[in-house]
Amino acid sequence: MIVDFGRDVTGRLAAAESKEWLCTNGIGGFASGTVAGLLTRRYHGLLVAALAPPVGRTLLVSKLDERAHYEGLDRPLCTNRWADGTIDPAGHHDLERFVLDGTMPVWTWSWADALLDKRVWMEPGANTTYVQYSVVRAGGPVALEIVALVNYRDYHGTTHGGWTMMLERVSGGVRVEAFPRARPFVILADGADVTVEHEWCYGFDLARERERGLPASEDHLRAATLRATLAPGRSLTVTLSAELAPSTAGEAARRRRRRHETDVIARWKRAQPEARRAPAAVRQLVLAADQFVAHRPLRDVPDGVTLIAGYHWFGDWGRDTMISLPGLALVTGRAETARRILTTFARFVDRGMLPNRFPDAGEAPEYNTADAALWYFEAIRAYHEATADTGAVKELFPVLESTLDFHRRGTRFGIGEDPNSRGWMRRSAIGWSRLGSARPWRSTRCGSTRSRPWPPLPALWAGRPGRGRRWPSGSGGTSGASGASRPATAPT
């Protein structure tokens, strides 16, 4: 195991809460928390669902607080810090080990002669999280008591409790509807006794938010308590889902996750023969790369794909997607994913510009980046170099041709070619004072009078097809055009 912490980390709260884990579902949703099990960010939760994939991310299930009863012992597994600084309970004291098994975080608690595992994973392509408890070793049965804490808010926010959610007992668990027309979600556990409750728990402390200068206290609703007794070698799986009919078969769900990760690694190995000799850490990085790939279905492109710019708080950004595409998709052997990303973003090119970002609430994309469209050219070049797929370039050619035309004539914010600078992007004429957030990522913004463009901006423009760059043979573009003003020919 590449990530494998023992008591020197898990038993010390400062160390255990500083280390975070992340699981994703391939549609923008995620689960995340700390090794210690306490919440330190507003972004932590077991089910942060992407209700309008890959955005619309909403915290639904905050955490599960567990206790174990074994041979007269009553031991907490969970850890919480409250607004007054109190740590209660302190389940990290019995936490023996934390490992990453693929992308699945696994905790192991030890007391007396018993060992109990807990692991978390998400269903690929669904807003569903599984939490599985297994009695690895014990001299008798272990009784578990699991409190489900829920919420319903934008993942950038915080909640102050006191309002009423609609809780309904259903087969195997509880159904939660936070308010009329909210997306319902369920908490299910086959084999558990479920007691529906409605009690707000006030004042969870969020230490990392305080460090960021943001509100650092939040409330969560105690929606249900699940109770089950497990014999040695047995497991209980809790299903947290915003889907209509989620599967509650824990072992089958775990195998599906394993198959997904096995396929990710297999594609990388097929694409990179030297991968078989790569250190285990590189294999872990390949799995981590997969967590940034997300579906972005469109009306005319139901299998659209994008890349998440970063966790926890970023969605998909045009510039970040194009810069990272070669490493996240091509090096890892996912050429088809790369092509789908390129064709998905082609649908959003407007007036020669690629979106800077897609807002979290699903509003119209923001076209305020000076260089994303040029990185798009570079991503297509890298894709063709890796695949020799001229058909994709032919498909995208009209978009590229239009983008070049807009950049020659000028598009939003005065972005365009400077005819007096030998075909480079405009300098003073680019209008930095009006550009605002459209500046390239590395550009100075606050208190600067700089009018020169960020160096890679003219470099990207100089390296476009038609200026020292060849269109792939057969793409329909010019071959070996060298003049900045020479137009590319239409595809045949």
Contact 37, 56 (CB under 8 A): no
3-state helix, strand, coil split of the chain in percent (to 5) is 30, 30, 40
Instruction: Say what the alpha-carbon torsion angle 114, 117, 118, 123 is, to the nearest 10 degrees.
Output: -150
Contact 372, 353 (CB under 8 A): yes
Task: Return the SS3 of 447.
Answer: coil
Closest CA to 353 of 342, 369, 365, 341: 369
Task: Return the SS3 of 399.
Answer: helix
Closest CA to 24 of 450, 391, 312, 427: 312
Contact 230, 236 (CB under 8 A): yes
Local confidence pLDDT in tens for the 492 residues of the chain? 789 999 999 999 999 999 999 999 999 999 999 999 999 999 999 999 999 999 999 999 999 999 999 999 999 999 999 999 999 999 999 999 999 999 999 999 999 999 999 999 999 999 999 999 999 999 999 999 999 999 999 999 999 999 999 999 999 999 999 999 999 999 999 999 999 999 999 999 999 999 999 999 999 999 999 999 999 999 999 999 999 999 999 999 999 999 999 999 999 999 999 999 999 999 999 999 999 999 999 888 899 999 999 999 999 999 999 999 999 999 999 999 999 999 999 999 999 999 988 877 767 899 988 889 989 999 999 999 999 999 999 999 999 999 989 888 888 887 877 766 655 455 433 433 344 445 554 433 333 334 444 445 555 555 556 554 555 655 555 433 333 333 344 333
Q: For residues 95 and 108, give the distance between their C-alpha atoms in angstroms, rounded to a whole number.
A: 6
Please give the pLDDT value at position 363: 76
Locate all alpha helices (DSSP H) within 143-249, ordered by sequence.
Answer: 207-211
Task: Return the SS3 of 378.
Answer: helix
Please give the pLDDT value at position 303: 93
Q: For residues 410 and 404, give the distance between their C-alpha atoms in angstroms, rounded to a whole number.
A: 10
The answer for residues whose C-beta is within 8 angstroms of residue 72's C-beta and 6 or more apart is none
Q: For residues 434 and 413, give the distance between their C-alpha atoms in angstroms, rounded to a whole number.
A: 6
